[in-house]
Amino acid sequence: MTLYRNEIEAYFKTLETDTVKYEVTIMDAANDMATQASQVDNFIAQGVDVMIINLVQSSSAATITEKAEAANIPVVYINREPSAEDMEASENITYVGVDALDECVEMVEAGTMTGTVLNDHIGQSHGAVDAAIDFINGNAVEKYIWVDYQKVN
């Protein structure tokens, strides 16, 4: 998730112009649902433009979506997919794990691991940021944004 966070921040920076700046606040719920719920509540109270969320538990998507929808704040879910029912609960949500870490690729190259699958954190991070910006700008956003896995062997 560190790769996601770093890439999200970096990609937002590359999209800034003299007249368009993005303020990015990243929180870590430390895999605790109560902490994440509190963070979401705080973001909603602050009136953020959009939230990119890696759910601690997929089952919490309904509650987060409901709160965000009531506050008219779009949500871009990454990594843990909400249920199909949760995805249909709002027009203002979209959905983008990280494997093939450098250590795994090195082990594949050294022959100590047979293979791994790259779940492209850069492609997913860029897709999430692009969707967030589309929401901010009032553009249509696809319900699902898929980034294909890549076999590494």
Q: Which residues of the chain have pLDDT under 50?
A: 97-100
Distance CA 34, CA 60 (A): 10
Question: Cβ distance 36 to 54 under 8 Å?
Answer: no
Distance CA 149, CA 78 (A): 15
DSSP code at position 19: S
Distance CA 73, CA 67 (A): 9
At 98 the pLDDT is 38
At 114 the pLDDT is 54
Give me the domains of the chain, ranges plus CATH numbers: 2-152 (3.40.50.2300)
At 72 the pLDDT is 95
* pLDDT per residue as tens digits for the range 104-139: 667 667 876 555 566 677 888 888 888 888 989 999
Please choose, from the candidates 110, 98, 112, 106, the residue with its C-alpha nearest in 3D space to the C-alpha of residue 150.
98
Q: Return the SS3 of 75.
A: strand
CA 94 to chain CA centroid, Å, is: 9
Give pTM, 2 decimals: 0.74
